[in-house]
């Protein structure tokens, strides 16, 4: 069942995590919205698009086992910068030279 940006499959929950491309490259700490409030987690560097992360026990409770919950899966989506200024363009151009 899909509700807004969240998909429910059994006791598991799936959602998207939109992050800046710089965070995908460098890694860092993010706040994740879950059914039980915000959770802080560290993302590794060099994240690929559509990478999935799992938070154990942050899904819906099993009906027969109240103490056990499904999992919450986050799919990484990049947010690309818009309207770059001259400094940003210059920095990305320098970065592209290092990549070749």
> Each residue of 59-73: pLDDT tens digit?
998 877 667 899 999
What pLDDT is stored for residue 15 in this prediction?
94
Instruction: Please report which helix (H) or strand (E) contains residue 88, including its range.
Output: helix 86-99
Nearest to 38, CA basis, from 48, 49, 29: 29
**What global pTM score does this model have?**
0.79
What pLDDT is stored for residue 76 in this prediction?
92
- Residues 50-59 have a mean pLDDT of 94
What pLDDT is stored for residue 29 in this prediction?
96
- Residues 34-58 have a mean pLDDT of 93
Residue 43, domain CATH:
2.60.260.20
Number of domains in the chain: 1
State the Cα–Cα distance between residues 42 and 20, nearest whole angstrom.
Answer: 14
Counting residues of the chain whose pLDDT is more than 90, the rounded percentage is: 65
Is residue 31 within 8 A of residue 40, CB to CB? The reply is: yes
Whole domain around residue 8: which residue ranges? 2-99
């Amino acid at each position: 069942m899909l509700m807004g940006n969240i998909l429910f499959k059994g006791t598991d929950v799936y959602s998207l995590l939109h992050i800046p491309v710089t965070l995908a490259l460098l890694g860092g700490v993010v706040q994740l919205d879950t059914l039980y409030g915000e959770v802080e987690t560290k993302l590794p560097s060099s994240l690929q698009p559509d990478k999935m992360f799992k938070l154990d026990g942050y899904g819906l409770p099993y009906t027969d086992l109240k103490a056990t919950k499904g999992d919450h899966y986050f799919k990484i989506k990049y947010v690309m910068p818009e309207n770059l200024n001259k400094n940003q363009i210059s920095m990305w151009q320098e970065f592209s030279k290092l990549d070749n």
